[in-house]
Amino acid sequence: MAAAQDAADALPKGGPAPRAADGHPDLSGVWFPGFTGGYSTDHPAAQSQFDPKVTPEEKPAFQPWAAAKIKSMTPVELELARPSVNCQPRGTPGMLLLNPYPTQLVQTRDELIQLNELNTNFRVIHTDGRPHTKNPDPTYAGDATAHWEGDTLIIDVIAIDERTWNNFVGWFHSDQEHVIERLTRTSKNYLIYQVTIEDPKVLAKPWTSAPRMWSLGHEDLEEYYCTDNQELQQYGSLKDKDAGSSK
Amino acid sequence: MRHRALLGLPLILGLLAAPAFAHHTFSVEYDKDKCSDMVGTLTKVDWENPHVYFYIDLKDANNQVSSWSFEAVSVAYLKRSGIQRQDFIDNMGKTVTARACLGKNASIKRAAAEYITMPDGRKLKVGSDYEHGQN
């Protein structure tokens, strides 16, 4: 019944993707994770970005030392270390991979501007073919260069701040992380995001996500500064109790 | 506006891979087996992120009153679910019922709210339905 309701709520394709003056697809829009172009507390399944039965997503294959490091953390330690619990920016690729809130894309001739509701932050991706910055400083968004391959925008990102995680359960990364993002507007109402993460220090092999679906909404972004998280008090009080337990 | 799904969409049914409402793991902090209706006087709302908090004065078995903090989802989630700050402001000082789950550290007077029922009978879904598997 719930699944039938999900299908009934899905946006139609809405026709072909609009094109920019230069002929490339125009990725501009306010995009919501999932398939209804919006969300509510009454319908959380609408945010689902892929069906694991249709497009299963592999688990990251960690180097033994990295797997051991993650496994050594208790559940409370994991919570306390989570960037999301600490109001840290999701960064790249978390701003699209781990983001339950809408994101607005604004495409100009030479840039793609991403405005994230979550944490009220942004990134600017140059699409004019310029190379990576020389000796880039690490940042949450990372240093990006982008180009079109057919109708897909390929965003190549390095120099990502090591405080970001790639999942909610401890997938940290090294200074060698290299992220390749693919954005494809498959129709007017749907945007597909797929990312490959290379990190030879932490991963035994590169990891590629399932194609993640975003759908076109028609609302303004809300202001969302993450400020006062009372959970830190609760987690802190549980830390001693939790110490020594295993996952 | 709702639409029928069209053939050719890559997925939809039975999906589990959604980003959750919350940015944390409910089961680490709260106990889904300790959820109940908590009745008291609404005294305050903090309209902020990552969670909206509202406060209710509750009486214990000895008629001692203490203030409890109830965690809801974020501002954006509530607003997109049709729930406004004004819904709380309009009911300050009135008796409300929160359906909520206790924290694992019982010494802290906090709970994760699933619903709040206002004096006019409106039952607002302000959190995940933890008792039925949402997180």
Q: Over the stretch A113-142, which tens digit does the pLDDT of each residue have? A: 999 999 999 999 999 999 999 999 999 999
CATH architecture of A2-242: Beta Barrel (2.40)
Query: How far apart are alpha carbons A185 and A105 in whole angstroms?
Result: 12
> Which of B10, B105, B126 lies nearest to residue A237, judging by beta carbons?
B105
Question: pTM of whole model > 0.90?
Answer: no
ipTM for the predicted complex = 0.83
Does any CB of chain B come closer than 8 Å to the CB of residue A52?
Answer: yes
Whether A75 and B134 lie within 8 Å, measured CB to CB: no
B29-132 has which CATH code? 2.40.50.140
All residues of chain A having their beta carbon less than 8 Å from the beta carbon of residue B19 are 33, 47, 49, 98-100
Helix extents (H) in chain A: 2-9, 64-71, 75-81, 91-97, 231-242
Annotated domain spans of chain A: 2-242
Residue B11 has pLDDT above 60, yes or no: no
Segment B118-130 mean pLDDT? 94
pLDDT for A7 equals 64
Average pLDDT of the residues of chain A: 91
Confidence band for B1, pLDDT divided at 50, 70 and 90: very low
Instruction: Report the residue of B1, B2, B6, B9 to disrupt the A interface, i.e. the one with the largest count of A CBs within 10 Å.
Output: B9
Which residue, chain included where needed, has tokens 């993707």? Answer: A17
Contact yes or no for A86/A245 (Cβ under 8 A): no
Annotated domain spans of chain B: 29-132
Residue B3 has pLDDT above 70, yes or no: no
pLDDT for A80 equals 84
